[in-house]
Chains A and B, each alone.
Chain A
Amino acid sequence: MSNILSKIGLYTVLIIGAFLSVFPFYWMFVMATNHNSVINRVPPAYLPGSELVTNFKNVLSNIDFFGAMWNSLLVSSLTTFGVLFLCSIAGFAFAKFHFKGKNVLFGLLLITMMVPPQLGLIPQYYIITQLGWLNDLKAVIVPGLIDAFGIFWMRQYIASNVPDELMDSAKIDGCSSFRIYWNITVPIILPAFATLAIIKFMYMWNDFLWPLVVLRDESVQTIQIAIRGLMNAYVKDNGMILSGTFWATVPLVLIFLIFNRFFIKSLTQGAVKS
């Protein structure tokens, strides 16, 4: 009896939690498919309507939706690939090579991981203007390549997964350091790549403050800046605003639902292990 009761209690808690987690997505879809007048009446529409296409057309007439999606994709993927390379090769050196100043450099990284990014915001902005990169995607991509966590993560992974014996035998065979990295280390650390890629891509895709500061021109805006711009449209059309938000959210959510176990593992493990 008490077993059944505790089961009911358990599922009630979990179902309420799951409902509250998923409901805003449903609500977003309801608004994205209804006319503004239906959203703005009391009581509002509770079910999806038939304005799916119309609302999205209104989005397209207000912002360059696909252009912004493309900018986001470009920024996020280029940064992710860059980070994978830079962090893994530096992490490799930190894990396997001896060189003077190694511990000082690594300690410096650990300290800067603790510093809030806002501290450097203004000088960073100044550097970008001096380089003439304002309104240029480079302004987001290049600083995005700095990822102290990425190096830390790669170093830990390489140190515990790439055996020294393997490196020594490769050295005896006359492999150059770069070939040891490229042909021996990289294939072993692919799982660490996947984890870091998910963390980095999602971070870049969802980032807001820095792109807001350096990407002001509409032609270079990322999707987050663009959908926020929908709120500044002359007529505040909630159906249109939520339609843009919905279609900007769908791609990442779909990818998440397909690979959810791996996503969850990557996004939380990366955090817990450090």
Chain B
Amino acid sequence: MRSVEVHSPKRRWTEKRKESLAGYIFVSPFFILFAIFGLFPMLFSFYLGFQKWNGLGEMEYVGFQNFVFVMKDPVFWKALSNTIIIGVLGTVPQLIVGIFLAFALNSALVKFQSAFRAAFFLPYVTSTVAVAIIFGVIFSNQDFGLANVFINAIGLDGVNWQTNEWGVKIAIAVMVFWRWLGYNTIIYLAGMQGIPNDLYEAATIDGATVWQKIRFITIPMLKPIIIFTVFLSTIGSLQLFTEPLVFLGGSMREEGITVVLYLWREAFSNMAFGTASASAIILFFIIIIFATVNSLLVNKLSK
């Protein structure tokens, strides 16, 4: 009996040590990789932002010059305004239509719900490159492009989608809209299924219209999910890259250049790794600011 009493604290102690040793061993493969390919690159970016470097030769410390260069570069501001315009055009209608579609899907009257769900979700499974290629042909400058066929049919002149200031933005926004609409719809639907039906029934008895039900029951109840989708969409649209690159090709026309395209071009066409890193850092702060502001805004608006 006595020997056990003497033994057990020591045993427990070694148990504890064994446990923490196992903990370290289990997390270490991930964290070693993370340190090399995740954490270090992020931190090193902040260092590179203050260097002049072409990727091969010596680095040269230049202070804030890279940041000044980017902030004074009209193309950067063009890229930022393009990104924001395309982001607004592509996501605001998407989230609004998504709520309506989800509301319709959630109605008890609907049959074939899972078929509709699958159809809406299909675009999300398609790769962004494929989306950009398909819509690139639909939004062709020529008259045989489906968008222009449609526009000509209603008696208007075709649009040069790939060169027109607004044409480029609308075409890219349509790609974003199409690929993400179903995804957000399904997320809203999942949220709506958690709203108790009695609320709608009570509203119906009180004579509420569909619009009033959406405005005063669905939207307030969905608030956390709406904030989540706005947050994700904000981050996603500020990182827009693939659609404009594939749609506009190597020409990198200014009508459609986005912030990440600007960064990519600085690094891999101009071999200016310092200014590219500076623009990555600027983008990082832009994303933080926009994601916070938009989430707060939605939080206020949907009260």
Contacts and interface: CB of A to CB of B under 8 A. Distances in A.
B133 A228 contact: yes
B260 A118 contact: yes
A21 B241 contact: no
B187 A268 contact: yes
Given A97-B23, A119-B284, A206-B127, A264 B118 contact: yes
B71 interface: no
B109 A245 contact: no
A78 interface: no
A127 B37 contact: yes
Contacts of A202: 125
A interface, size bucket: 35 or more
B19 A177 contact: yes
Contacts of B16: 98
Given A42-B149, A224-B129, A231-B249, A24 B134 contact: yes
A44 interface: yes
Interface stretch (B72-80, B275-283, B294-302): B275-283
Consensus secondary structure, chain A interface: helix
A17 B120 contact: yes
A24 B190 contact: no
Contacts, number: 271
Contact of A227 (B130, B182, B249, B281): B130
Interface residues of B, number: 98
A147 to B, nearest CB: 9
A209 B167 CA distance: 24
A168 to B, nearest CB: 11
12 contacts: A3-B109, A6-B109, A40-B142, A43-B149, A97-B20, A98-B23, A121-B267, A122-B277, A123-B41, A202-B125, A253-B125, A264-B117
Going nearest first, the 6 A-B pairs with the smallest beta carbon separation are: A120-B41, A99-B20, A99-B23, A177-B22, A123-B41, A97-B23
Interface of A: 3, 6-7, 10-11, 13-14, 17-18, 20-22, 24-25, 27-28, 31, 39-44, 86-87, 89-90, 92-94, 97-100, 102, 105, 108-109, 112, 114-127, 129, 142-143, 145-146, 148, 151, 177-178, 181, 202, 205-206, 208-209, 213, 224, 227-228, 231-232, 238, 241-242, 245, 248-249, 252-253, 256-257, 260-261, 263-264, 267-269, 271-272
